[in-house]
């Protein structure tokens, strides 16, 4: 995909997934996965002993992701079309629930985060990678972005303890929380 190639110039999914501690054998949930920019890389990293689950409300995006996974021979990833506000993929099954530059897009982000808490194992990690709330040439409109402080407040309101807030490249921040 041309779009993916362009995005890789400013965002390295493998490096980000490595930074959050994703490794072989883990279960990774990608909420609001889109075309699978992170989901495909995660499926490769968790390997045959691991599992990936990906959800998005966009049926066409899930179809593209399914085809891409099949082309790469990735059988350790499952896909679901649905809205994250209304979907719990599993209970206490995930090592990492990941939001890749998408939390600001949900109609009810607090509900989505509460659903994430249901899906996480007690030892699991919630990861929110999102756009900084500052003017820049790319990304969503500034008025819909969450600042780091707003995102931390939301995550804590959903019942998580925030472990870290860090920069992630020149456009994003990365928040890691625990149930």
- Three-state SS sequence of the chain: CHHHHHHCCCCCHHHHHHHCCCCCCCEEEEECCCCCCCHHHHHHHHCCCCEEEEEECCHHHHHHHHHHHHHCCCCCEEEEECCHHHCCCCCCCEEEEEEECCHHHCCCHHHHHHHHHHHEEEEEEEEEEEECCCCCCCCCCHHHCCCHHHHHHHHHHCCCEEEEEEEECCCEEEEEEEC
pLDDT at 120 over 50: yes
- The phi, psi pair for 99, rounded to 5°, reads -120, 105
Q: Which two tokens stand for residue 53?
A: 């689950």
Higher local confidence (pLDDT), 10 or 104: 104
User: Is the pLDDT assigned to residue 125 strictly greater than 50?
Assistant: yes
Question: What mean pLDDT is predicted for residues 119-134?
Answer: 97
CATH number, domain 2-178: 3.40.50.150
| Residue given tokens 């990608």 in the structure block | 30
Cα(97)–Cα(110) distance, integer angstroms: 14
pLDDT at 2: 53
Give the percent of the chain with pLDDT over 70.
Answer: 99
What is the rounded distance in angstroms from the CA atom of residue 10 to the CA atom of residue 107? 27
Q: Return d(Cα 126, Cα 95) in angstroms, integer.
A: 9
Question: Which pLDDT band, with edges at 50, 70 and 90, does 1 fall under?
Answer: very low
Q: Each residue of 14-56: pLDDT tens digit?
A: 999 999 999 999 999 999 999 999 999 999 999 999 999 999 9
Residues 128-172 have pLDDT tens digits of 999 999 999 999 999 999 999 999 999 999 999 999 999 999 999
Res 23: pLDDT: 97
Residues 127, 160: contact at Cβ < 8 Å?
A: no
What does the pLDDT look like over 48-98, one tens digit per residue?
Answer: 999 999 999 999 999 999 999 999 999 999 999 999 999 999 999 999 999
């Amino acid at each position: 995909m041309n779009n993916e190639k362009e995005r890789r110039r400013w965002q390295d999914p493998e490096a980000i997934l490595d930074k959050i501690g994703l490794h072989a054998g883990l279960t990774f949930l990608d909420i609001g996965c889109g075309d699978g920019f992170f989901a495909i890389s995660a499926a490769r990293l968790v390997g045959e002993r691991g599992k990936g689950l990906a959800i998005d409300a966009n049926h066409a995006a899930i179809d593209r992701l399914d085809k891409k996974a099949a082309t790469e021979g990735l059988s350790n990833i499952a896909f679901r079309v649905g809205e994250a506000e209304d979907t719990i993929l599993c209970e206490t099954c995930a090592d990492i629930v990941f939001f890749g530059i998408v939390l600001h897009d949900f109609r009810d982000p607090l509900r989505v985060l509460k659903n994430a808490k249901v899906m996480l194992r007690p030892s699991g990690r919630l990861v929110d990678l999102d756009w900084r709330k500052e003017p820049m040439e790319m990304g969503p409109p500034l008025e819909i972005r969450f600042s780091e402080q707003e995102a931390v407040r939301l995550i804590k309101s959903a019942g998580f303890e925030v472990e870290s807030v860090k920069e992630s490249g020149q456009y994003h921040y990365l928040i890691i929380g625990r149930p």
